Amino acid sequence: MPFSPHVSLGGLTQVLGPPEFGRWDYVVLDPKGMSVRSDSTYERSEKDGHRIEEGEIVTVLERRSGDGNTFLRLEQPQGWAFDRQPGPASKEKMRMTEIQVELGLWYYRVTAERGVGLRSRCSVAHNCNEVRGPDKGALVKITRRARIGETTFLQVNEGGWIVPGNDKASQCGWIFDIKAGRRMCEGPVPMEASPPDTMATIRNEVGVFLACSPTSQDWAQTTHLIFDGDRVHVHSYCEVENMTWAQVSKLCGKVGWVQALWLGFETQAPAACRGLPISATESDLLVDSVDLGSDACPR
Protein backbone atom coordinates (compact mmCIF):
# COMPACT_ATOMS: atom_id res chain seq x y z
CA MET A 1 0.00 0.00 0.00
CA PRO A 2 1.58 3.37 -1.03
CA PHE A 3 2.40 5.84 1.73
CA SER A 4 -0.11 8.70 1.98
CA PRO A 5 1.16 11.52 4.23
CA HIS A 6 -2.29 13.11 4.65
CA VAL A 7 -5.45 11.95 6.43
CA SER A 8 -8.81 13.70 6.45
CA LEU A 9 -11.26 14.18 9.31
CA GLY A 10 -14.45 16.08 8.77
CA GLY A 11 -12.96 18.03 5.88
CA LEU A 12 -9.74 18.81 7.77
CA THR A 13 -6.42 17.39 6.68
CA GLN A 14 -3.84 16.00 9.10
CA VAL A 15 -0.24 15.34 8.09
CA LEU A 16 1.11 11.92 9.04
CA GLY A 17 4.71 11.14 9.80
CA PRO A 18 6.74 8.53 7.90
CA PRO A 19 5.77 4.87 8.40
CA GLU A 20 7.43 2.85 11.15
CA PHE A 21 7.66 -0.90 10.58
CA GLY A 22 7.98 -3.63 13.20
CA ARG A 23 5.82 -5.85 15.43
CA TRP A 24 3.94 -4.46 18.43
CA ASP A 25 1.11 -5.79 20.58
CA TYR A 26 -1.93 -3.56 21.15
CA VAL A 27 -5.13 -4.14 23.09
CA VAL A 28 -8.53 -2.60 22.38
CA LEU A 29 -9.75 -0.39 25.25
CA ASP A 30 -12.99 0.93 23.80
CA PRO A 31 -15.96 -0.91 25.43
CA LYS A 32 -17.79 -0.71 22.09
CA GLY A 33 -14.91 -2.16 20.11
CA MET A 34 -13.63 -0.67 16.85
CA SER A 35 -14.25 -0.96 13.14
CA VAL A 36 -11.24 -1.76 10.96
CA ARG A 37 -10.62 0.55 7.99
CA SER A 38 -9.06 -0.15 4.61
CA ASP A 39 -6.70 2.83 4.86
CA SER A 40 -5.09 5.10 7.46
CA THR A 41 -8.09 7.40 7.78
CA TYR A 42 -10.97 8.22 10.11
CA GLU A 43 -13.50 8.31 7.26
CA ARG A 44 -16.49 6.04 7.92
CA SER A 45 -16.66 5.20 4.23
CA GLU A 46 -13.36 3.27 4.61
CA LYS A 47 -14.74 0.79 7.17
CA ASP A 48 -14.24 -2.67 5.68
CA GLY A 49 -16.72 -4.67 7.76
CA HIS A 50 -14.23 -6.19 10.20
CA ARG A 51 -14.27 -5.37 13.91
CA ILE A 52 -11.95 -5.80 16.88
CA GLU A 53 -13.56 -6.01 20.31
CA GLU A 54 -12.62 -4.69 23.75
CA GLY A 55 -9.85 -6.78 25.28
CA GLU A 56 -8.75 -8.25 21.95
CA ILE A 57 -4.97 -8.31 21.49
CA VAL A 58 -3.79 -7.57 17.97
CA THR A 59 -0.38 -7.44 16.31
CA VAL A 60 0.55 -4.17 14.61
CA LEU A 61 2.98 -4.22 11.66
CA GLU A 62 3.12 -0.52 10.77
CA ARG A 63 2.56 2.75 12.63
CA ARG A 64 2.03 6.28 11.32
CA SER A 65 2.00 9.12 13.84
CA GLY A 66 -0.19 12.16 13.45
CA ASP A 67 -1.22 15.05 15.68
CA GLY A 68 -1.35 13.26 19.07
CA ASN A 69 -2.55 9.98 17.64
CA THR A 70 -1.19 7.01 15.70
CA PHE A 71 -2.63 4.95 12.87
CA LEU A 72 -1.95 1.21 13.17
CA ARG A 73 -1.82 -1.38 10.40
CA LEU A 74 -3.01 -4.71 11.77
CA GLU A 75 -1.76 -8.17 10.94
CA GLN A 76 -5.15 -9.81 11.61
CA PRO A 77 -7.72 -8.77 10.66
CA GLN A 78 -5.91 -6.96 7.89
CA GLY A 79 -6.61 -3.25 7.84
CA TRP A 80 -6.09 -0.06 9.83
CA ALA A 81 -7.12 1.19 13.26
CA PHE A 82 -6.01 4.12 15.45
CA ASP A 83 -5.10 4.53 19.10
CA ARG A 84 -6.88 7.79 19.99
CA GLN A 85 -10.29 9.15 19.05
CA PRO A 86 -9.83 12.75 17.91
CA GLY A 87 -12.27 15.58 18.49
CA PRO A 88 -13.28 17.97 21.28
CA ALA A 89 -11.80 17.27 24.71
CA SER A 90 -15.14 15.88 25.90
CA LYS A 91 -15.10 13.22 23.16
CA GLU A 92 -11.39 12.50 22.84
CA LYS A 93 -10.47 9.09 24.27
CA MET A 94 -7.97 6.26 24.02
CA ARG A 95 -9.32 3.40 21.96
CA MET A 96 -6.21 1.19 21.81
CA THR A 97 -2.93 1.09 23.70
CA GLU A 98 0.36 -0.72 23.32
CA ILE A 99 1.04 -3.50 25.83
CA GLN A 100 3.83 -5.94 26.60
CA VAL A 101 2.81 -9.60 26.21
CA GLU A 102 5.05 -12.06 28.07
CA LEU A 103 5.49 -15.63 26.87
CA GLY A 104 6.66 -18.25 29.34
CA LEU A 105 5.44 -20.78 31.87
CA TRP A 106 4.09 -19.84 35.30
CA TYR A 107 1.78 -21.40 37.86
CA TYR A 108 -0.95 -19.35 39.52
CA ARG A 109 -3.38 -20.32 42.26
CA VAL A 110 -7.04 -19.30 42.24
CA THR A 111 -8.03 -17.46 45.44
CA ALA A 112 -11.52 -16.16 44.55
CA GLU A 113 -14.20 -17.86 46.66
CA ARG A 114 -16.32 -18.73 43.62
CA GLY A 115 -13.40 -19.48 41.33
CA VAL A 116 -12.74 -17.60 38.10
CA GLY A 117 -14.41 -17.77 34.70
CA LEU A 118 -12.50 -18.25 31.47
CA ARG A 119 -12.90 -15.31 29.11
CA SER A 120 -12.35 -15.15 25.39
CA ARG A 121 -10.56 -11.78 25.59
CA CYS A 122 -8.58 -9.66 28.05
CA SER A 123 -11.67 -7.98 29.44
CA VAL A 124 -13.64 -8.00 32.69
CA ALA A 125 -16.76 -6.69 30.96
CA HIS A 126 -19.99 -8.61 31.48
CA ASN A 127 -20.55 -8.97 27.74
CA CYS A 128 -17.25 -10.81 27.25
CA ASN A 129 -17.85 -14.50 26.54
CA GLU A 130 -17.25 -16.46 29.71
CA VAL A 131 -17.35 -20.16 30.59
CA ARG A 132 -16.76 -21.97 33.85
CA GLY A 133 -13.10 -21.93 34.83
CA PRO A 134 -10.94 -23.24 37.68
CA ASP A 135 -12.32 -23.30 41.23
CA LYS A 136 -10.78 -21.82 44.35
CA GLY A 137 -7.48 -23.53 45.16
CA ALA A 138 -6.79 -24.76 41.63
CA LEU A 139 -3.20 -24.56 40.43
CA VAL A 140 -3.30 -23.23 36.86
CA LYS A 141 -0.60 -23.37 34.19
CA ILE A 142 -0.15 -20.00 32.48
CA THR A 143 1.65 -19.53 29.15
CA ARG A 144 1.04 -15.84 28.35
CA ARG A 145 0.63 -12.70 30.49
CA ALA A 146 -0.50 -9.19 29.60
CA ARG A 147 -0.81 -6.31 32.07
CA ILE A 148 -3.57 -3.77 31.38
CA GLY A 149 -3.89 -1.10 34.06
CA GLU A 150 -3.93 -2.72 37.51
CA THR A 151 -4.88 -6.13 36.12
CA THR A 152 -2.64 -8.86 34.72
CA PHE A 153 -4.49 -11.16 32.33
CA LEU A 154 -3.29 -14.76 32.29
CA GLN A 155 -3.78 -17.09 29.35
CA VAL A 156 -4.71 -20.68 30.13
CA ASN A 157 -4.24 -23.22 27.37
CA GLU A 158 -6.26 -26.39 26.99
CA GLY A 159 -5.33 -28.73 29.83
CA GLY A 160 -4.04 -25.89 32.01
CA TRP A 161 -5.55 -27.32 35.20
CA ILE A 162 -6.85 -30.63 36.50
CA VAL A 163 -10.46 -31.41 37.39
CA PRO A 164 -11.69 -34.54 39.23
CA GLY A 165 -12.85 -37.31 36.93
CA ASN A 166 -10.99 -35.91 33.91
CA ASP A 167 -7.36 -35.99 32.87
CA LYS A 168 -7.41 -32.24 32.23
CA ALA A 169 -9.80 -29.37 31.78
CA SER A 170 -10.58 -28.98 28.08
CA GLN A 171 -11.32 -25.24 28.03
CA CYS A 172 -8.86 -22.47 27.26
CA GLY A 173 -9.06 -18.71 27.63
CA TRP A 174 -8.03 -15.82 29.88
CA ILE A 175 -8.29 -15.33 33.64
CA PHE A 176 -7.03 -12.35 35.64
CA ASP A 177 -5.33 -11.67 38.95
CA ILE A 178 -7.24 -8.57 40.16
CA LYS A 179 -10.73 -7.27 39.47
CA ALA A 180 -11.88 -3.91 40.88
CA GLY A 181 -9.15 -4.13 43.53
CA ARG A 182 -10.16 -7.65 44.59
CA ARG A 183 -7.58 -10.42 44.16
CA MET A 184 -8.75 -13.40 42.13
CA CYS A 185 -5.48 -15.29 41.65
CA GLU A 186 -2.05 -15.21 43.25
CA GLY A 187 1.29 -16.09 41.78
CA PRO A 188 3.53 -17.05 40.28
CA VAL A 189 3.63 -19.93 42.76
CA PRO A 190 7.24 -21.03 43.36
CA MET A 191 7.82 -24.66 42.39
CA GLU A 192 10.68 -27.03 43.19
CA ALA A 193 11.52 -30.12 41.20
CA SER A 194 12.65 -33.09 43.23
CA PRO A 195 15.85 -34.93 42.26
CA PRO A 196 15.28 -37.70 39.72
CA ASP A 197 13.96 -40.97 41.13
CA THR A 198 13.05 -39.44 44.50
CA MET A 199 10.98 -42.02 46.35
CA ALA A 200 8.95 -41.77 49.53
CA THR A 201 6.61 -43.93 51.59
CA ILE A 202 3.13 -42.92 52.72
CA ARG A 203 3.08 -42.48 56.52
CA ASN A 204 -0.58 -42.34 57.50
CA GLU A 205 -2.28 -45.34 59.05
CA VAL A 206 -5.57 -44.66 57.26
CA GLY A 207 -3.89 -43.78 53.95
CA VAL A 208 -4.26 -40.55 52.00
CA PHE A 209 -6.49 -39.54 49.11
CA LEU A 210 -4.84 -37.90 46.13
CA ALA A 211 -5.92 -34.36 45.32
CA CYS A 212 -6.03 -33.10 41.75
CA SER A 213 -4.62 -29.74 42.87
CA PRO A 214 -2.53 -28.71 45.90
CA THR A 215 -5.45 -27.54 48.03
CA SER A 216 -7.65 -28.68 50.91
CA GLN A 217 -10.78 -27.59 49.04
CA ASP A 218 -13.36 -30.39 48.92
CA TRP A 219 -13.77 -30.28 45.14
CA ALA A 220 -10.10 -31.23 44.61
CA GLN A 221 -10.14 -34.51 46.56
CA THR A 222 -10.38 -37.60 44.40
CA THR A 223 -11.48 -41.09 45.42
CA HIS A 224 -8.03 -42.46 44.67
CA LEU A 225 -6.59 -43.80 47.95
CA ILE A 226 -2.91 -44.52 48.56
CA PHE A 227 -2.42 -46.86 51.50
CA ASP A 228 -0.10 -46.55 54.45
CA GLY A 229 3.30 -47.97 53.50
CA ASP A 230 2.84 -47.55 49.75
CA ARG A 231 5.87 -46.22 47.86
CA VAL A 232 5.42 -43.22 45.57
CA HIS A 233 7.58 -41.33 43.12
CA VAL A 234 7.89 -37.66 44.17
CA HIS A 235 8.00 -35.19 41.26
CA SER A 236 7.78 -31.63 42.59
CA TYR A 237 6.69 -29.39 45.46
CA CYS A 238 4.98 -26.13 46.16
CA GLU A 239 3.94 -24.25 49.29
CA VAL A 240 0.36 -22.98 49.45
CA GLU A 241 -2.23 -22.63 52.21
CA ASN A 242 0.69 -22.46 54.68
CA MET A 243 1.70 -26.04 53.98
CA THR A 244 4.01 -27.92 51.63
CA TRP A 245 2.40 -30.10 48.97
CA ALA A 246 4.09 -32.78 46.88
CA GLN A 247 3.08 -34.05 43.48
CA VAL A 248 3.45 -37.83 43.55
CA SER A 249 2.65 -40.86 41.44
CA LYS A 250 2.31 -44.57 41.92
CA LEU A 251 4.10 -47.05 39.67
CA CYS A 252 0.83 -47.63 37.80
CA GLY A 253 0.79 -44.00 36.71
CA LYS A 254 -1.72 -42.37 39.08
CA VAL A 255 -0.60 -38.76 39.62
CA GLY A 256 -1.83 -36.24 42.18
CA TRP A 257 -1.01 -34.11 45.21
CA VAL A 258 -0.59 -34.97 48.88
CA GLN A 259 0.58 -32.98 51.86
CA ALA A 260 4.31 -33.53 52.24
CA LEU A 261 3.96 -34.23 55.97
CA TRP A 262 2.55 -37.68 55.08
CA LEU A 263 5.73 -38.66 53.22
CA GLY A 264 8.66 -40.59 54.63
CA PHE A 265 11.65 -40.05 52.35
CA GLU A 266 14.09 -42.83 51.56
CA THR A 267 16.90 -40.25 51.13
CA GLN A 268 17.29 -36.72 52.46
CA ALA A 269 14.03 -34.81 52.12
CA PRO A 270 14.05 -32.03 49.48
CA ALA A 271 14.54 -28.46 50.63
CA ALA A 272 10.83 -27.70 50.45
CA CYS A 273 10.15 -30.35 53.05
CA ARG A 274 12.92 -29.10 55.35
CA GLY A 275 11.66 -25.52 55.64
CA LEU A 276 14.05 -24.10 53.05
CA PRO A 277 12.95 -21.62 50.37
CA ILE A 278 11.49 -22.82 47.10
CA SER A 279 13.32 -21.04 44.30
CA ALA A 280 12.18 -22.27 40.88
CA THR A 281 9.25 -20.35 39.41
CA GLU A 282 9.19 -20.68 35.63
CA SER A 283 10.11 -24.27 34.76
CA ASP A 284 7.74 -26.94 33.54
CA LEU A 285 8.06 -28.93 36.74
CA LEU A 286 4.73 -30.72 36.91
CA VAL A 287 4.16 -34.05 35.24
CA ASP A 288 0.94 -34.57 33.32
CA SER A 289 -1.87 -36.35 35.07
CA VAL A 290 -2.33 -39.80 33.58
CA ASP A 291 -5.41 -40.83 35.51
CA LEU A 292 -7.22 -39.65 38.59
CA GLY A 293 -10.12 -42.05 38.30
CA SER A 294 -12.17 -43.56 41.10
CA ASP A 295 -10.28 -46.83 41.51
CA ALA A 296 -7.46 -47.15 43.98
CA CYS A 297 -4.15 -48.14 42.48
CA PRO A 298 -3.14 -51.78 43.15
CA ARG A 299 -0.71 -52.10 46.00
User: Are 148 and 27 spatial neighbours (Cβ–Cβ below 8 Å)?
Assistant: yes
Three-state secondary-structure class, residue 47:
strand
Q: What is the pLDDT of residues 164-180, one digit of tens each?
A: 655 555 678 999 999 88
Q: What angle do CA 199, 202, 204 make, to 5 degrees?
A: 165
Burial of 90 (0-12, 13-18, 19+ CB in 10 A): exposed
**Rounded Cα gap, residues 1 and 59, in angstroms:** 18
pLDDT of amino acid 32: 92
**Rounded Cα gap, residues 18 and 115, in angstroms:** 48
User: Are 208 and 224 spatial neighbours (Cβ–Cβ below 8 Å)?
Assistant: no
Range ranked top by mean pLDDT from 116-130, 144-158, 169-183: 144-158
Please say if the pLDDT value at position 206 is more than 60.
Answer: yes
Average pLDDT over residues 200-208: 94
Q: Which domains, and CATH codes, for the chain?
A: 6-97 (2.30.30), 101-186 (2.30.30), 191-274 (2.30.30.40)
**Rounded Cα gap, residues 28 and 30, in angstroms:** 6
Average pLDDT over residues 36-62: 92
Q: What percent of the chain has pLDDT over 90?
A: 55
Q: What is the pLDDT of residues 285-297, one digit of tens each?
A: 565 543 444 343 3
pLDDT band at residue 271 using 50, 70 and 90 as cut-offs:
low
User: Are 189 and 109 spatial neighbours (Cβ–Cβ below 8 Å)?
Assistant: yes
pLDDT of amino acid 290: 38
The predicted model scores a pTM of 0.81
